């Protein structure tokens, strides 16, 4: 028996097929486009989600000796990309992605009317133009005929489950980030729905992660190249799937997913509502919770710098590693996409301080990587303030391929670092949902034995002391970098 995971992300769809031992046997990938129809507007053709998923699946199946062994599948999806559809699940317009910011006025109205903190304590997310509650309200105001005609308002997961099984089905991790759902009661929130003018009948059914949804429809089986009768299990938001894929399934585990933005997901025994607004959610493991924080200015900063200086990542790694002493007084505050969590200052810009004539581009590269590390340490501090004992941090994604950057994070944060050898952790996590559903593993803790990670050896004890001292100086400079006066910095 084999199990298929499909990760329908922001820029492409990935497929991964695993066996009963959790080993990845094959993969597939197809990209798709974003469109930018106006300032602050980022849309996507939802049909591309399905088309790319079928192509990625067929690519993965072509590498198997017997594709007919695939018994079940599940989905990992991007969150908060909103789409109105008709009763057949056909899009009525392009999807408003999670990067779309057109609904700023509506987000403020939600906050003013219902209370930003109250909404946060219901959904786990502060009101924002990027989340579905505000975007649906924008649609009602600006495209009223379309709002009236829509049979259902879905995000990526529900669009795909409709195509796969004929049912609009979501899960708690995706529904919460849509900001329509109360994670404490486990139901759509009547106050939020009333304010935006929706009834629960126009929203997908919400079922736990791993719930069996039936077999693939004949049309879907043909499109994906799968055997009739392949079973579908309810999926989850991509970060929760990535947590499953790297084995972050016990209280105290921490995932650092390093993509364009970096996402920290901690596994907790209770929902964490904090002054800094960690985003709590229901973990796929029964009885556990997740808490998410995003570093908007992380992977994107190094990609920007690579483009500016024209070097590849391996050269920057090698040269930056040799620049410890020369970059000692150099600090890079990496806010090129704003100062996100825990600062909450999206208007801020990046700052480089301590630069002089002796520095070169690799000194700056090291300072940049250190700055992202210092910001990661600030995120972990918010978990610790909330009483979370962090035992280890598992890294996945692009930065996990840089031994140097992984080591920097270990020395800066003081965490035990595990590095995932799995580049497609979200797709593998989705496949694990299917495997658990089929009984290949007794539960997600059992499936953890299949997660391929390696511990990182941190052998230079002097670097722990070096970064403790440099981190203290970084924090002392933070008020100025965040545009705060001396008085503000003391608050």
Confidence of residue 484 (pLDDT cuts 50, 70, 90): confident
Cβ 171 vs Cβ 206: under 8 Å: yes
**What is the pLDDT of the chain when averaged over all its residues?**
93
Q: Does 140 fall in a domain?
A: yes
- CA distances from residue 206 to 158, 172, 175, 203, 248 in whole angstroms, order as listed: 10, 7, 8, 9, 24
Using one digit for the tens of pLDDT, what is the confidence trace for 427-446? 999 999 999 999 999 999 99
Q: Which of 131-145, 163-177, 343-357 has the lowest mean pLDDT?
A: 343-357
Q: Does 264 fall in a domain?
A: no
Helix (H) or strand (E) holding 321: helix 313-321
Examine the pLDDT at 485 and tell me if it is beyond 60. no
Using one digit for the tens of pLDDT, what is the confidence trace for 223-269? 999 998 999 999 999 999 999 999 999 998 999 999 878 999 999 99
Distance between CA atoms of 202 and 199, rounded to whole angstroms? 6
Confidence of residue 6 (pLDDT cuts 50, 70, 90): very high
The total number of structural domains that make up the chain: 1
Examine the pLDDT at 9 and tell me if it is beyond 50. yes
Using one digit for the tens of pLDDT, what is the confidence trace for 21-47? 999 999 999 999 999 999 989 999 999
* pTM, entire model: 0.91
Examine the pLDDT at 491 and tell me if it is beyond 70. no
Helix (H) or strand (E) holding 126: none
Examine the pLDDT at 488 and tell me if it is beyond 50. no
DSSP 367: H
Cβ 248 vs Cβ 277: under 8 Å: no
Using one digit for the tens of pLDDT, what is the confidence trace for 271-318? 999 999 999 999 999 999 999 998 887 888 888 999 999 888 899 999
Nearest Cα neighbor of 281 from 246, 227, 240 is 240
> Which structure tokens are listed for 380?
């972990």
Q: Does 224 fall in a domain?
A: yes
Residues 6 or more apart whose Cβ sits within 8 Å of residue 416: 391, 392, 393, 410, 455
Q: Count the neighbouring beta carbons within 10 Å of the beta carbon of residue 461.
A: 9
Examine the pLDDT at 134 and tell me if it is beyond 60. yes
The Cα angle at residue 369 between residues 250 and 322, in degrees rounded to 5: 120
Examine the pLDDT at 214 and tell me if it is beyond 70. yes
| 67: containing domain | 2-239
Provide the β-strand partners of residue 16. 5, 27
HSE (CB half, 13 Å, CA atoms) of 416? 10
Q: Does 489 fall in a domain?
A: no
Examine the pLDDT at 210 and tell me if it is beyond 70. yes
CATH number at residue 171: 3.30.420.40
- CA distances from residue 52 to 9, 33, 34, 75, 360 in whole angstroms, order as listed: 10, 11, 13, 13, 43
Q: Does 75 fall in a domain?
A: yes
How far does CA 198 lie from the centroid of its chain?
A: 27
Q: Does 43 fall in a domain?
A: yes
Q: For the chain, what percent of residues have pLDDT higher than 90? A: 83
Examine the pLDDT at 486 and tell me if it is beyond 70. no
Residues of 299-329 as b/e, b for ≥16 C-beta within 10 angstroms?
bbbbebbeeeeebebeebbebbbebbeebbe
Cβ 393 vs Cβ 256: under 8 Å: yes
Q: Does 485 fall in a domain?
A: no
Helix (H) or strand (E) holding 76: strand 70-77
Q: Which residue has the higher pLDDT, 391 or 449?
A: 449
HSE (CB half, 13 Å, CA atoms) of 429? 30
Nearest Cα neighbor of 101 from 175, 179, 43, 188 is 43
DSSP 401: G
pLDDT at 398: 84
pLDDT at 263: 92
């Amino acid at each position: 028996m084999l199990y298929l995971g499909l990760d329908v992300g922001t820029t492409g769809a990935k497929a991964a097929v695993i066996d009963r031992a959790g080993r990845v046997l094959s993969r597939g990938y197809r990209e798709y486009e974003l469109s930018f129809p106006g300032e602050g507007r980022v849309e996507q053709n939802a049909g591309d989600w399905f088309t790319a998923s079928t192509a990625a699946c067929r690519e993965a199946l072509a590498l198997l000796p017997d594709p007919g062994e695939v018994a079940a599948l599940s989905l990992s999806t991007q969150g908060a990309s909103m789409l109105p559809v008709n009763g057949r699940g056909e899009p009525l317009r392009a999807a408003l992605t999670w990067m779309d910011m057109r609904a700023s006025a509506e987000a403020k109205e939600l906050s003013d009317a219902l209370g930003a903190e109250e909404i946060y304590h219901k959904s786990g997310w502060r009101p924002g133009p990027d989340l579905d509650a505000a975007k649906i309200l924008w649609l009602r105001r600006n495209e009223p005929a379309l709002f009236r005609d829509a049979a259902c308002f879905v995000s990526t997961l529900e669009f795909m489950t409709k195509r796969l099984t004929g049912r609009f089905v979501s899960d708690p991790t995706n529904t919460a980030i849509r900001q329509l759902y109360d994670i404490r009661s486990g139901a759509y929130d009547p106050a939020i729905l009333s304010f935006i003018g929706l009834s629960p009948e126009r929203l997908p059914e919400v079922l736990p992660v791993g719930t069996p949804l039936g077999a693939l429809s004949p049309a879907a089986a043909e499109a994906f190249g799968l055997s009739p009768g392949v079973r579908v299990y309810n999926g989850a938001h991509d970060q929760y799937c990535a947590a499953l894929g790297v084995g972050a399934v016990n209280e105290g585990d921490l995932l650092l997913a390093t993509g364009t933005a970096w996402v920290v997901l901690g596994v907790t025994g209770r929902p964490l509502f904090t002054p800094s607004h960690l985003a709590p959610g229901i973990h796929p493991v029964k009885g556990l919770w997740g808490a998410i924080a995003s570093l908007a200015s992380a992977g994107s900063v190094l990609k920007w710098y690579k483009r500016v200086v024209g070097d590849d990542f391996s050269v920057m790694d090698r040269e930056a590693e040799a620049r410890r002493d020369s970059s000692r007084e150099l600090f890079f505050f990496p806010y090129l996409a704003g100062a996100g969590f825990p600062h909450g200052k999206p208007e801020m810009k990046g700052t480089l301080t301590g630069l002089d004539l002796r520095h070169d581009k690799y000194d700056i590269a090291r300072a940049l990587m250190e700055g992202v590390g210092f910001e990661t340490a600030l995120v972990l501090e918010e978990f610790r303030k909330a009483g979370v004992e962090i035992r280890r941090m598992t890294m996945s994604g692009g930065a996990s391929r840089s031994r140097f950057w992984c080591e920097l994070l270990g020395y800066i944060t003081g965490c035990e670092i595990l590095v995932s050898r799995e580049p497609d952790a979200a797709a593998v996590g989705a496949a694990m949902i299917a495997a658990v559903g089929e009984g290949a593993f007794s539960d997600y803790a059992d499936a953890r034995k299949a997660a391929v990670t390696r511990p990182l050896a941190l052998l230079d004890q002097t670097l722990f002391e070096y970064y403790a001292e440099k981190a203290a100086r970084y924090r002392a400079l933070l008020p100025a970098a965040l545009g705060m006066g001396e008085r503000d910095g003391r608050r």
